[in-house]
């Protein structure tokens, strides 16, 4: 697993370009005798058990894409691709799911599994851009799948611990684009123009005040403008400005209200500034909603392996997102947080140039996944469910 993770870490590919990563995993799996399927356009891999089980199976999901971030580490396995880096730990996810798959396969072949276990490993591309899960689902990844598991590394927790949470785990992420059309002119004579930069400044201030002030503070919503582009010269007023941002929410009503409020505020600023403002929203992943039974199964397996003091309940959901949510709209499942910081070392955050994981976490993640897959397949569990 460490070797796989380091190989992927050295050779990262951004969302939508995961062809070499796919080929590498395909080779690893094929050399162990798996017949694998690849996803659309040669991105993404699916491997599964040799079909000895009956009934629906359980799937484990990993993601494969890296981020457009320059690796600032000085380790031997640092990224060899300029400006691209596995800064979200997807290399670790792929290695852990591969480890679990190979272990389950070996256990099945040597006859030590207590009952038939039908499982599938889904290595998806393009998690960061919110396309990959839907692409894999369209390619049939969920056919015959009755439940689903995933993990995500978490640098706020030390390696050797995990976090679990039933119900909502991550935010619904909406992407927002604002186009402000004004009229350009000389910086000395703003009264002859319709200044889109002044309108942008007003709009940002107004949104940061109006959106939180019009929502129930007990319903979490966060709005951030992360990009602003306008103008070329210090002494000219440009024609247009473009803002990009995100609205993140944990509750559908609050989400609708926030989006509506953004549109109202934009219309008001357009009126007072004399510009035209066009707001477009693109829905990102919905919230990850963890199934209570599967979350409890993961928790039990983690307690067996790590002890109860190393298995922590996550008090508050994250305002981040994960496109694992798309699978959970179709089958019950659970995503848990895998502690990955080195005890005693300063933790490096996800999506930062210094991000790294304590590789001891890989085996722990793989063991929890494999154990949960076997436990879920216990015939008694299904009989109980059928009776319910
Ligand atoms: Ni991630």
**260-273 pLDDT tens trace:** 999 999 999 999 99
| Predicted local confidence at residue 35, as pLDDT | 85
For 20-68, write each residue's pLDDT tens digit.
999 999 999 999 989 899 999 999 999 999 865 567 899 999 999 999 9
Work out the mean pLDDT of the chain and round it to a whole number.
95
Ligand 1 center–CA 215 separation, angstroms: 29
Task: State both tokens at 113.
Answer: 């599994």
Q: Tens digits of per-residue pLDDT, 80-118?
A: 999 999 999 999 999 999 999 999 999 999 999 999 999
Q: CA angle 13-171-19, nearest 5°?
A: 15
Closest CA to 322 of 171, 196, 110, 218: 171
Q: Ligand 1: distance of its center to the CA of 88 in Å?
A: 5
Is the separation of the CB atoms in 90 and 62 below 8 Å?
Answer: yes
pLDDT in tens, 195-214: 999 999 999 999 999 999 99
Contact assessment for residue 14 and residue 23, using Cβ atoms and an 8 Å cutoff: no
Confidence (pTM): 0.90
User: What does the pLDDT read at residue 52?
Assistant: 56
How many angstroms is it from 342 CA to the middle of ligand 1?
19
Q: Which letter does DSSP use for residue 194 in this model?
A: B
Encode pLDDT of 217-234 as tens digits: 999 999 999 999 999 999
Q: Determine the distance separating the centroid of ligand 1 and the alpha carbon of 90, expressed in angstroms.
A: 6
Dist. CA 128 → ligand 1 center (Å): 7
Best CA proximity match to 29, nearest among 60, 10, 4, 54: 4
- On the question of pLDDT at 387 being above 70, the answer is no
Q: Separation of 221 CA from ligand 1 center, angstroms? A: 21
**Predicted confidence (pLDDT) at residue 388 exceeds the cutoff of 60:** no
Distance in Å, CA 371 to ligand 1 centroid: 23
Residue 143: per-residue pLDDT: 94
Query: In 10 A of CB 332, how many CB atoms?
Result: 16
Distance 37 CA to ligand 1 centre (A): 23
Quote the ligand 1 centre to 216 CA distance (angstroms). 29
Question: For the residues 317-344, what does the mean pLDDT come to?
Answer: 95
- Give 139-193 pLDDT, tens digit per residue: 999 999 999 999 999 999 999 999 999 999 999 999 999 999 999 999 999 999 9
Q: What is the C-alpha to C-alpha distance for residues 257 and 228, in angstroms, rounded to an integer?
A: 24
Distance 154 CA to ligand 1 centre (A): 9
Q: For residue 329, how far is its CA from the centre of ligand 1 (angstroms)?
A: 19
CA 28 – ligand 1 centroid, Å: 23
Length of the chain, in residues: 388
Q: Is the pLDDT of residue 384 over 80?
A: no
| Alpha carbon of 160 to ligand 1 centroid (Å) | 19
Residue 61 CA, ligand 1 centroid: distance in Å: 12
* 292-324 pLDDT per residue, tens: 999 999 999 999 999 999 999 999 999 999 999
Going from the Cα of 351 to the center of ligand 1, the distance in angstroms, rounded, reads: 8
Distance CA 4, CA 27 (A): 11
Cα of 85 from ligand 1 centre, angstroms: 12
Residue 261 Cα to ligand 1 middle (Å)? 30
């Amino acid at each position: 697993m460490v070797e796989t993770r380091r190989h992927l870490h050295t050779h990262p590919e951004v969302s939508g370009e995961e062809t070499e990563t796919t080929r590498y995993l395909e080779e690893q799996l094929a050399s162990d005798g798996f017949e694998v399927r690849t996803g659309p356009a040669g991105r993404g891999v699916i491997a599964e058990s040799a079909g000895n089980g009956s009934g629906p199976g359980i799937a484990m999901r990993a993601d494969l894409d890296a981020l457009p971030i320059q690796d600032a580490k000085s380790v031997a396995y640092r990224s060899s691709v300029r400006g691209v880096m596995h800064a979200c730990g997807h290399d670790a996810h792929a290695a852990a799911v591969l480890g679990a798959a190979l272990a389950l396969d070996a256990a099945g072949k040597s006859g030590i599994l207590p009952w038939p276990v039908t499982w599938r490993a889904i290595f998806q591309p393009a998690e960061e851009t919110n396309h990959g899960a839907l692409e894999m689902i369209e390619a049939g990844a969920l056919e015959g799948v009755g439940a689903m598991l995933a993990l995500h590394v978490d640098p706020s927790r030390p390696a050797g611990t995990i976090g679990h949470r039933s119900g909502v785990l991550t935010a619904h992420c909406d992407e927002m684009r604002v186009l402000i059309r004004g009229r350009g002119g000389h910086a000395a004579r703003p009264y002859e123009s319709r200044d889109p930069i002044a309108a942008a400044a007003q709009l940002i201030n107004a949104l940061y005040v109006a959106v939180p002030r019009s929502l129930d503070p007990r319903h979490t919503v966060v709005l951030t403008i992360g990009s602003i582009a306008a103008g070329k010269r210090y002494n000219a007023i440009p024609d247009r400005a473009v803002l990009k941002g995100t609205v993140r929410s944990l509750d559908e009503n609050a989400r609708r209200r926030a989006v509506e409020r953004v549109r109202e505020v934009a219309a008001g600023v357009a009126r007072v500034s004399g510009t035209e403002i066009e707001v477009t929203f693109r829905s990102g992943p919905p919230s990850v909603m963890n199934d209570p039974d599967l979350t409890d199964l993961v928790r039990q397996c983690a307690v067996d392996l790590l002890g109860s003091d190393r298995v922590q309940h996550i008090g508050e959901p994250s305002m981040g997102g994960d496109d694992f949510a798309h699978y959970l709209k179709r089958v019950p499942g659970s995503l848990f947080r895998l502690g990955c910081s080195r005890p005693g070392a300063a933790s490096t955050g996800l999506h930062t140039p210094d991000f790294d994981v304590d590789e001891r976490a890989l085996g722990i993640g793989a063991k929890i996944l494999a154990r949960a897959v076997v436990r879920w397949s216990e015939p008694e569990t299904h009989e109980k469910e059928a009776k319910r």
